Amino acid sequence: MVQILKSPEDLRAYSKSLRAQNKTLGFVPTMGALHEGHLTLARTALAECDACIVSIFVNPKQFAPHEDFDRYPRQLDKDADLLSTVGVNAVFAPEVDVMYPKDFQTTVSLSEVTKPLEGEFRPTHFTGVSTVVARLLLLVGADKAYFGEKDYQQLQLIKQMAKDLAIPTEIIGVGIVREKSGLALSSRNAYLTTEERPIADQLNVILKTMASEFKSGAAISDIERRAAQKLSDIGFGKIDYITIRDAETLLPPTEETKSHRILAAAFLGKTRLIDNISAD
């Protein structure tokens, strides 16, 4: 059975004991409600490091008041069982007042990388993410930490933050795990109704069409307009963005752009779905 650690002291003692045995440590931060995408991160960590710690913490700081913090799925026992099956060594599952004691005062925020896309529609989200991830990375002290590419902008900002703050953990992005239909795995897929599922599957199909139009030289504005129209036609509600961007800056491509990324965020009923693929 995987060991459950509840306090920073337990966590530090645990990582220290691994260090004493000269073992390398991989770390996978999560908010729980684990799926195959998270398990792939843990398996990658275990393939590259001697041991793996997974954190499970639904971080209140990254949810705006109108978002789904209260209904976000919580299932620690089930998650711990799943992690045991892949050989994860320990789970760090702190309570909110352990992660953010009463006198907690620090906020970590990044400028440029957090401005476009998610930053426009969820203006407080990334500050919550960078604050919790900085604290987790420093508490765990892993050699490598693994993040899914599904949250592509999150991955870029965490790489930037680790570089800026000289956090001595290598940040590694791992490719998106998808259903056979192409739907990117997400804990929030659990909110989708049976009727919404096949519509959700189309999001990735539309992104792939955008990639092939882009490769055949169509104008970006036309590709984006057609894709947004298609999403509305099939039943998506509010579309936050469906766009082709510079894969590094996440801004509209320029002459200097080396690689392109197609990214989308849109509501299907009450569920906000995000996805992204390479355009090159």
Between 118 and 196, CB nearer to ligand PAF:
118
Nearest approach, Cβ of residue 213 and ligand PAF (Å) = 30
Q: Determine the residue type at 264.
A: A
C-alpha 82/C-alpha 119 separation (Å) is: 33
Paired tokens of 45:
């960590």
Nearest approach, Cβ of residue 159 and ligand PAF (Å) = 13
Catalytic site includes residue 125: no
Q: Determine the residue type at 19.
A: R
Nearest approach, Cβ of residue 167 and ligand PAF (Å) = 14
Ramachandran region of residue 130, left (φ > 0), alpha (ψ -120 to 50) or beta?
alpha
Between 63 and 214, CB nearer to ligand PAF:
63
Contact residues toward ligand PAF (CB under 6 A) are 29-31, 59, 62, 129, 132-133, 151, 154
Between 15 and 30, CB nearer to ligand PAF:
30
Strands 144-148 and 239-246: unpaired
Is residue 202 within 8 Å of residue 215, measured between CB atoms?
A: no
Between 132 and 211, CB nearer to ligand PAF:
132
* From 35, 38, 125, 260, the catalytic residue: 38
Paired tokens of 243:
């766009």
C-alpha 232/C-alpha 180 separation (Å) is: 23
Nearest approach, Cβ of residue 124 and ligand PAF (Å) = 13
Q: Active-site positions?
A: 38
